Structure 1
């Protein structure tokens, strides 16, 4: 038997703010709150094929590039339209040493956590 990723936990300074941002990006909803943590996930809730994300409060600032990051793909628009939507939600371009020739965009969420917008559109 194998394991499956059920939750991703992200330490952050403002769990509510990041939860709202990522709910908008992924079409997720808030599933629960416990102390200073906020858990978001798909409408189906816990235990489905997609992992939930827990934003856990920390006072430690982010100081370097993440060793793990999200890659996201648009489901209902092309990459340029999705890039505009993500920037309008509060993402901003991030430089992690890319050359400018990549087929993806490197962005940062409101707390500076890097993620990539890939070119290929996925089915919802």
Structure 2
């Protein structure tokens, strides 16, 4: 069996605030808090070791201000991309850049601490035949 991602850890100046932001964005809930102030969030009813990864927001007095090498991409699950963009901006995301015009537009946003993420257009749920035959 291959490895899979079990958790993503994000250093944060305000772990509480960032956990609240990403919980709203992803529909996650707080799963646990550690003695060091880390907050683990994930899908309701899911915990560490389950198929879906959880996010751990870890307090840090020196979160790296430079561009991060790991970025999250999100796709609207139950609404169109424009409606999801409005929701993310209302939650506190800020626009950084808008990629490709027309269909397939990608929005680069930043969470309340400046971590960039992309709002991608919805993708078809079926895989192309070539991808299935790999």
Match of 1:37 in 2: 38
Q: Does 1:19 align with 2:19?
A: yes
Cα offset for 1:100? 5.5
Equivalent residue for 2:89, pick from 87, 90, 94: 87
Equivalent residue for 1:69, pick from 71, 86, 109: 71
TM-score (norm 2): 0.83
Go from structure 1 to structure 2 and tell me whether the alpha carbon gap of 1:31 and 1:80 turns closer, same or farther (over 3 Å shift): same
Cα offset for 1:49? 1.9
Runs of 4+ in 1 over 3 A off after TM superposition: 98-102
Go from structure 1 to structure 2 and tell me whether the alpha carbon gap of 1:110 and 1:31 turns closer, same or farther (over 3 Å shift): same
Consecutive unaligned residues of structure 1, counting only runs of 5 or more, are none
Partner of 2:114: helix, strand, or coil? coil
Match of 1:2 in 2: 2
TM-score (norm 1): 0.89
Contact 2:105/2:121 (8 A) holds in 1: yes
Give the superposed CA RMSD: 1.8
Partner of 1:62: helix, strand, or coil? coil
Which structure has the greater CA radius of gyration?
A: 2
Contact 1:103/1:119 (8 A) holds in 2: yes
Tell me the distance in 2 between the aligned counterparts of 1:114 and 1:107. 6
Match of 1:112 in 2: 114
Partner of 1:94: helix, strand, or coil? strand
Cα offset for 1:63? 2.0
Larger RCO (alpha carbons 8 Å, 6+ apart): 1
